Homo-oligomer: A and B are copies of this chain.
Amino acid sequence: MKKATGRSITIRDVARAASVSVGTVSRSLNAPDSVRPATLSKVRSAIEALGFRPDSRAQIMRRRHTMTVGFVVDDIGNPLHAATFKAVSAVMRERGFSPYLVNTSGGADNEAAAIDMLQHGRADGVIMTINSEQDPGTLKRLAELRIPSVLLDRAIPLDIDAVLTDHAIGMRQATDYLIGLGHRRIALITGGRDIRPGRERVRGFVEAFQKHGLDVPADLIRAQSLSADYGFREASTLLQREKPTAIIAAGNRILVGVLRVIQQNRVSIPGDVSLIACDQTDLALLYPGPITLIDRDIEEIGRTAAHLLLERLASSEERPAQRISLPTRLILGGSCAPVTA
């Protein structure tokens, strides 16, 4: 249990102790087969004796890669991001990479900073969910990104790999289902149209009504933010004034807000209003009973992103960006009922 001594032991110290050259020590570490057993054991015991551990700063500097990949999200409090990261981590670790996560707390500045920090030698690749899809600064930075990257659920006009979810189709299905139950006044609460999931969900929602030749309840569409607060606010005013017969809480944080309103006002689900959520979170699965939801396979999203990145990492040859789109599926819970009126 020695104190942290000033200078640390270098490969040179080991070389001297084992009376071999630095090159040999290095090779003993990285290609043990290329050094004679006798020499190897001399080196090994010197390493042991001195307690030498290679300085990864220097290693990273010399070999031009870090064997780490970054995962950038706006809010790790979102269980979806956490699950995705875990899936990514599993694949990456298996292939010898150390994955780590950076939380930007949203904000174009923070996202830019995160990209910057990863940019030059902190990570070999990056998987990210960028919120400032439109921010010119961010876009520029992404364009100039020199390491392989994969975007999650975002589509930007750049040559970058992406793993997407078919939100439009999923939403159309869900809306369709509600319409089939006789609902017409269906409210949709979701994220802003400036970011892909919001845009696509609104599109699917609208398409479902159009397919049936029905008027789109445009006044019931609230698409501005994925936050719990937004969900709370919009659900409050909707339930108070517009009285929809069904609500689609499209975003797992939004669901938290919506459920808060439902709980506070003792709204009965599905008695007073039908409810559809997105993604299997603890809350959606457990609430009073399981909520009907638009689900997707988060694990697969993570794995797909990881593999996409690994491909790029492996072969340095250029190839056009890939966009892989994964489906959703509707899981029926107990939160929807036919309209009685």
Contacts and interface: CB of A to CB of B under 8 A. Distances in A.
A143 interface: yes
Given A76-B85, A83-B77, A117-B98, A282 B256 contact: yes
Query: Residue among A56, A144, A282 with the most chain B CB within 10 A?
Result: A282
Contacts of A110: 93
Query: Residue among A57, A70, A113 with the most chain B CB within 10 A?
Result: A57
A286 to B, nearest CB: 5
Interface in A199-220: none
A82 B76 contact: yes
Contacts of A102: 98-101
B57 A61 contact: yes
Interface residues of A, number: 58
Contacts of A86: 75-77, 103, 105
Contacts of A8: 146
A338 interface: no
A103 B76 contact: no
Interface stretch (A20-28, A119-127, A234-242): A119-127
A122 B85 contact: no
Interface string A59-74: 0110010101010000
Contacts of A100: 70, 100-102
A287 B263 CA distance: 9
A58 interface: yes
A4 interface: yes
A56 B121 contact: yes
Contacts of A330: none
A283 interface: yes
A320 interface: no
A76 B3 CA distance: 33
A120 B57 contact: yes
A90 interface: yes
Contacts of A283: 282-283, 286
12 contacts: A1-B144, A55-B121, A60-B60, A76-B82, A77-B82, A82-B82, A99-B103, A100-B101, A259-B286, A260-B286, A263-B288, A287-B287
Given A260-B286, A281-B282, 5 more contacts: A56-B121, A79-B79, A89-B103, A90-B105, A98-B113
